[in-house]
Amino acid sequence: MELLSYVIRKLIGGIPLILGVTLISFVLMVYFGPDKTFELLSKNPTEAEIAQVRAQLGYDRPFLVRYAEYLKEMATLDFGFSDSTGERVSSILSRTIPVSLALLAPGFVLGNLLGIVLGLVAAWYRGGWVDKLIMGGAVVGMSISFLVVIVAFQALFGVVLGWFPVRGWNVHDLPSYAYYVTVPTLASVFVALGYNTRFFRAVLVEEINRDHVRTARAFGARPAEILFRNVLMNAMIPIVTRILFSIPLIVVSGSLLIESYFGIPGIGKVTFDAITSGDQPILKAVVGLTAVLFVLILIVTDILYRVVDPRVSLTGDAR
């Protein structure tokens, strides 16, 4: 009950945030975004022709009306038709978003899980050779550009070994999914792991020096138990924060890079093409949905804080 009312309050509180974010991005799109007027006109148009096309595109209406219409599109998830392909934006999204999720999820989960495990091991043996080895590897991983990793992995697994495809996405069952997802996953894990491990080790080392860890040791707890219950569970707030807030970044920029390099028809590829071709209906949809995603993540983060730490109160009053 406490949780439900909290979620509702947070959702209501998220509305001004969504309005603010969409307003700013809409202003940017209207005044600095692509203008289709002259693409639709012939050479040397008259003033009347320009005005006619602008009216047809809806550019002549007052800003607030256009913004209200955008909000209506957001609410109904109906963003009209793509300028370049003429397909419904909603059907483009429902076709490509699942592809992106399927593509990114394994790398995201593995990158974080492995990062936490390596961070725990390094923190436990802090100062020792195991720690130095893991941290050295992390620095190496961080130092190599994502683009180089993608190309190198494509060359290794696709060309030299020939085990996996370099491009494409022809997924219809589990084996074909594994066939197409492996190399992109390996590449994104390789790139994320260095950053993740360093971050997780830092927050875990801080917890490992706490008094309650010493208490657990004095009461005969095993190292695995200490690492999980005392160290990891107490470091959950920074960990949850980092993992959740990396989601929008991965969805937007991570998918864009991977999908364009692997020729995968996901939302990142669609967004990239929309930017280059000035396809405003798609851009409006992507920008608006990203803002909503952010607000949802904020709410989920707060709820998870409550789940992982009993000291966090959802009602706002101190106990």
H-run or E-run covering 15: helix 2-32
212 binds another protein (CB under 8 A): yes
Residue number, 17 or 236, with CB nearest to another protein: 236
208 binds another protein (CB under 8 A): no
Q: By 3-state DSSP, what share of the chain in percent is helix, strand and coil, each rounded to 5? A: 80, 0, 20
Query: How far is residue 188's CA from residue 107's CA, in Å, rounded to a whole number?
Result: 6
210 binds another protein (CB under 8 A): yes
Tell me, residue by residue from 134 to 173, as one string, x for binding to another protein by CB under 8 A and - for no binding: ----------------------------------------
Query: How far is residue 286's CA from residue 78's CA, in Å, rounded to a whole number?
Result: 12
Residue number, 243 or 283, with CB nearest to another protein: 243
Phi–psi pair at 81, nearest 5 degrees: -115, 145
In the block, residue with structure tokens 């798609």: 282
234 binds another protein (CB under 8 A): yes
Query: In the complex, what is the shortest distance from the CB of residue 212 to another protein, in angstroms, rounded to a whole number?
Result: 4
The token duo for 174 is 């589990």
Please tell me the total number of residues recorded for the chain in this structure: 319
Out of 49, 206, 302, 309, the residue judged to bind another protein by CB under 8 A: 309
Q: How far apart are the first and last CA of the chain?
A: 18
C-beta neighbour count of 106 within 10 angstroms:
18
Out of 162, 175, 310, 316, the residue judged to bind another protein by CB under 8 A: 310
The token duo for 140 is 């190496």
Would you call 175 exposed, middle or buried from its count of C-beta atoms within 10 A (0-12, 13-18, 19+)?
Answer: exposed
HSE-up of residue 220 (Cα within 13 Å, Cβ side): 0
Stretch touching another protein by CB under 8 A, among 64-72, 112-120, 162-170, 207-215: 207-215
Out of 217, 224, 245, 253, the residue judged to bind another protein by CB under 8 A: 217
Query: In the complex, what is the shortest distance from the CB of residue 221 to another protein, in angstroms, rounded to a whole number?
Result: 7
Out of 96, 197, 230, 255, the residue judged to bind another protein by CB under 8 A: 230
Would you call 255 exposed, middle or buried from its count of C-beta atoms within 10 A (0-12, 13-18, 19+)?
Answer: buried
315 binds another protein (CB under 8 A): no
224 binds another protein (CB under 8 A): no
Residue number, 50 or 237, with CB nearest to another protein: 237
Residue number, 206 or 273, with CB nearest to another protein: 206
82 binds another protein (CB under 8 A): no
Which positions touch another protein (CB under 8 A)? Answer: 210-212, 214-222, 225, 229-230, 233-234, 236, 308-311, 319
